């Protein structure tokens, strides 16, 4: 904990003037900042007319992606639309989506914390649960100085041995790793879609059950009241045996 406090103090108090904000704001908790891993996926519940924001660090040149889907919504007159917008470290709006599910992907042009905000202002009386999957990945992105050095080394290796099988294997492994990563992304989005369909079916089942029960009680109650009203229309006198019931 002390190391984190010292790191934040150095970042915030350092001589940074102008440019993109690469340091987190002091009023943001550690639970809302995502530093270490390249990808995250979890679910979060948004209250009525509420908004949640998260921050993820990305370097310039990396590809930032965000997948989201509304799993279930509660309340009267609920709306499954979710307002999502992503801001760059400098505060500029990068992308905005207003839908029940969506995908956002772009190449980071600034180094710093990218802000993701999810607003539930469409539902003023109901909460919703959303599933998030976001992170960063890169394709052959390196520092310019290191890139020049590696290019020189590659030229020397090619001139020495054109049939370098190790470089071919390395490139193939890199391509395979990249393809597997994208397969995992699409698999996560498919899992979100299935879970959203499941919650929707369960919500509709509960809705139909409640309304069926309410209508059954209404029919039984109305029949009983009609029978009671018809019985009160007939007046029976028991004093005289000759007289018959009359209306």
Q: In percent, how much of the chain has pLDDT > 90?
A: 23
Length of the chain measured in residues: 247
**Over the stretch 89-122, which tens digit does the pLDDT of each residue have?**
998 999 999 998 899 999 999 988 999 999 998 8
Do 93 and 13 meet the contact criterion of CB atoms below 8 Å apart? no
Neighbour-count burial of 131, counting CB atoms closer than 10 A to its CB (0-12 exposed, 13-18 middle, 19+ buried): buried
How many Å apart are CA 96 and CA 18, to the nearest integer?
26
User: What distance lies between CA 165 and its chain's CA centroid?
Assistant: 43
The C-alpha atoms of residue 66 and residue 86 are separated, in whole angstroms, by 9
Tell whether pTM > 0.85.
no
* Residue 29 in tokens: 């908790």
Name the average pLDDT for the chain.
76
The answer to whether the beta carbons of residues 138 and 63 sit under 8 Å apart is yes
Domains, the chain: 24-202 (2.60.120.680)
How large is the average pLDDT for residues 25-36? Answer: 51
């Amino acid at each position: 904990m002390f190391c984190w406090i010292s790191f934040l103090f150095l970042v915030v108090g350092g001589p940074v003037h102008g440019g993109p904000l690469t340091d987190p704001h002091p009023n943001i908790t550690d639970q809302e900042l995502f530093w270490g891993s390249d990808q995250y996926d979890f679910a979060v519940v948004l209250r009525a007319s509420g908004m949640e924001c998260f921050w993820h660090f990305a370097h310039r040149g990396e590809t930032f992606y965000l997948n989201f889907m509304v799993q279930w919504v509660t309340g009267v007159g609920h709306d499954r639309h979710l307002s999502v917008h992503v801001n760059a470290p400098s505060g500029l709006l990068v992308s905005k989506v207003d839908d029940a599910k969506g995908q956002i992907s772009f190449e980071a042009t600034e180094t710093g914390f990218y802000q993701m905000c999810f607003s539930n202002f469409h539902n003023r009386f109901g909460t919703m649960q959303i599933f998030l999957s976001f992170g960063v990945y890169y394709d052959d992105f390196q520092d310019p100085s290191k890139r020049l050095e590696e290019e020189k080394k590659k030229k020397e290796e090619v001139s020495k041995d054109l049939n370098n099988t190790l470089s071919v294997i390395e490139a193939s492994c890199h391509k395979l790793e990249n393809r597997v990563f994208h397969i995992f992304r699409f698999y996560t989005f498919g899992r979100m879609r299935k879970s959203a369909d499941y919650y929707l079916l369960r919500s509709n089942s509960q809705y139909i059950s409640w309304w069926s029960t309410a209508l059954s009680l209404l029919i039984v109650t109305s029949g009983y009241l009609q029978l009671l009203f018809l019985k009160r229309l007939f007046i029976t006198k028991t004093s005289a045996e000759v007289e018959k019931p009359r209306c």
